[in-house]
Chains A and B, each alone.
Chain A
């Protein structure tokens, strides 16, 4: 058995070298996020953040992601073409209209995901207040809760026990759980600030207090959030559980 596995691995490696490289960044893609363009506040505190995160996703995983940034209004007819929405900000923003709430609510209930990112770097910021207000309107019967450590988002690719970001406002990710899904995720640590890069792919913001290790954790959380969005509870399938438990003990 071992010999066969070894041969398989060797064969796989050899075949991989012969394969043409995957074409990434051009044409149609399996994962195409969009950034929510809302009214009031600052809808894109770090314009390069999402592109940087998608590059990271492509380098590290098998996901075929689109690195082109797409800004989208809730009312856009293209909304459903972008099932993953990223919404970041530093300050308070205008309440969504009832029509926007209804449209965004339907979008999320049908399978869409919204990642909220507070770039202000402070707890209970005006952005945080606006976010919690709108989430209550979207899900009047569900709360924006702290995700427990056994949530799949913390094991969907990396095994995470720390939350990264440009700053460490909260060592937690919040979310609205609906069955096996978490259609709304919220981080207050300014993930976009940690992801953002310049034209030469150099970080434009320092991460405090943890430095580059904290930035790495922000990338890992980004990867895990996208993997969880695409694979749902795959990592809670029985076959994974034992391995994950063992590795958590070794860490």
Chain B
């Protein structure tokens, strides 16, 4: 062809390639032309039908069609392109699996999978030479994503330990197929354990689906698989728990046991909170299946955020022990505050309290009223009465810990409660963290016979003696300085405003005298003139007792704070607010805390930053100015102080570098700028250090073999040197320059068209046509 062009006088020097070419105009022009040409041919055929002789008709048609065809050729402008072709090296891409599972050992005592592949690579000198000679070689590491590795990797494999959080082989192959240099991809060498967990891993036994997933891959993939089939492992996988649950409501922890290489055995799956066993389940496993779904159910008995651990024993010969334990954190919320109200006698105080608590949709009130006492005579048989037995055993023994708080309102334990029940209530507060409130009356405090009982131990006020020391007469309870700041009695935003409000409250009537507040208790309301030990006697006092909280209200006429205010146009809002605040404080509602600690999430990946936020409020529940904050982090590596929190809006913030895998507890406390303790708080979070890579860490060499087979590559055995001749021959070039030779863009084409049209015109005239 080049000789012909040369003979035609075309200079082809410097060019060594030739390709045909047309420059097609816009489609609309082509369509327009074709319509016009068909019309022209149609008129020619129509005019020529008057001729008698067939060969004359055909000749006219041919002349017209020929002219139209030549015109079309002019339109599409055919030509030849001369190319200056330079030979280039094709690309070969080496993909190293750098996911975390590559650090695992296939068998106890053997080298890691990564080490096995590196040993293979070092022994594949012929292959490396062939690649260096004939290809442009790119080396990538892949796990969750793909990144280039240094050139030194080409000789000895990756240097850093594998720590990728997942394995995405398809993503790596797609990245390998993309080239910035323009060099075509000729081969991919994939070194992996095949433990893909991004979707491809399940397709090893589904070649058609795998083929569809790979599509028309542009190059053969040569695979080297690490790991044998003799791995033994029992691991926890697919752990699924809700982000939060509700107290005393069952929470399901779903997980899968993945079993490989073990004969029939029972696996004990245990759920812990700290060192406390919450539940355990024995799961029979064997070779009949690879996965065993397990559900562990438990009902949390406390509100807060807690760390939990699911653990299975380590069996002899297990290759991977890291997946025998998983941790998670769970926020336990209160769906409703379960309050037990026990009333010694119906009264207006009880009636207005009940109405208030019933109006609060977040409180589930369980009430028991003593409507008839032992000496009362209703003159009716049992079936004519609506009275029910007082289920003391259930309430104060077997079911006591189903409540968040207990209220005794003008209720004497005699003759209803065993001393053991009173001890149970004390334990409920001290150990369980429940709330307890005693409201006054003739059956309460010392008048109710509580002195010397376990209940007296937890009351914030000191009571002594027995009998009727209930005092009558009206008085106005005084808000103390502590009361003006406390979340229960600080009914207005500022201390002065709260004090003014309490001053406006109507007087109350009836008082349970005491020996005064106990050390550590906080008096919120005080009697205006009754005193003990040099201080005014408490009307309302609170204290922290063990894990729980206690409130004592030494009067039975708090209802007047509601009802009597109505006479002067006052509404019940402050009364409702008082009880709601009291209930929330007693159950340790987080909103009642002055120090509140939180993290932006409860679970983190191994490389995530932990964002810590801490709210520090003063006594007035406004942000405390310049507080002294102490923040500690404790976990598997011990305890360390965290410092340098910065102020962000109204919160103190710290972005903590990832502390590593495991469960972590944050404990924060704060003091005011005058050194007064403001409170403390704690929370937990989990760093998923191992994640999905250890859930299903088994090698999947079969997947690698299938990929090689589908793409036309080969699967090399990690124990033997690869055959370098398997690589495809490098045939590729790039075009350095090109020149176009138009074939129809000259005078000859125009003359030929003119000749055809004029010949047709001449013949038509000669044969008598117009």
Contacts and interface: CB of A to CB of B under 8 A. Distances in A.
B567 A79 contact: yes
A8 B358 CA distance: 31
A80 B367 contact: no
Nearest to B350: A230
Contacts of B736: none
Interface in B544-564: 556, 562-564
B346 A13 contact: no
Interface stretch (A15-23, A127-135, A197-205): A15-23
A23 B468 contact: yes
Contacts of A48: none
B561 to A, nearest CB: 12
7 cross-chain pairs, A with B, having the tightest CB-CB distances, nearest first: A15-B415, A110-B566, A12-B415, A16-B374, A230-B346, A30-B347, A62-B345
A60 B378 contact: yes
Contacts of A62: 344-346, 370-373, 376
Contacts of A109: 566
Contacts of B572: 110
B415 A11 contact: yes
B563 A16 contact: no
Contacts of B349: 30
Interface in B398-425: 414-416, 418
Interface residues of A, number: 57
A158 B415 contact: no
B3 interface: no
Interface stretch (B35-43, B385-393, B634-642, B755-763): B385-393
Contact of B345 (A64, A111, A229, A243): A64
B383 A63 contact: no
Contacts of B346: 30-31, 61-63, 227, 230-231
A188 interface: no
Contacts of A227: 346, 371
B152 interface: no
B372 A12 contact: no
B347 A230 contact: yes
A210 B563 CA distance: 40
A235 B386 contact: yes
Contacts of A251: 383-384
A155 interface: yes
21 contacts: A11-B415, A28-B510, A31-B346, A60-B378, A60-B379, A61-B376, A62-B345, A62-B346, A79-B567, A80-B563, A83-B348, A107-B566, A111-B563, A155-B386, A157-B372, A158-B386, A230-B351, A234-B367, A237-B366, A247-B383, A250-B383
Contact of B372 (A20, A61, A111, A244): A61
Contacts of A30: 345-349, 441, 556
Contacts of A243: 386, 388
B567 A80 contact: yes
B392 A8 contact: yes
A21 B378 contact: no
A152 to B, nearest CB: 9
Interface in B134-159: none
Interface in B231-264: none
Contact of B351 (A27, A59, A157, A229): A229
Contacts of A1: 393
A106 interface: yes
B391 to A, nearest CB: 8
B378 A159 contact: no
A191 to B, nearest CB: 17
Contact of A28 (B369, B472, B566): B472
B375 interface: yes
Nearest to B397: A4
A83 B367 contact: no
A159 B366 contact: no
B384 A158 contact: yes
A226 to B, nearest CB: 8
Contacts of B416: 8, 12
Contact of A111 (B366, B377, B566): B566
A153 B566 CA distance: 25
Nearest to B567: A80
Contacts of B352: 111
Interface in A93-116: 106-107, 109-111
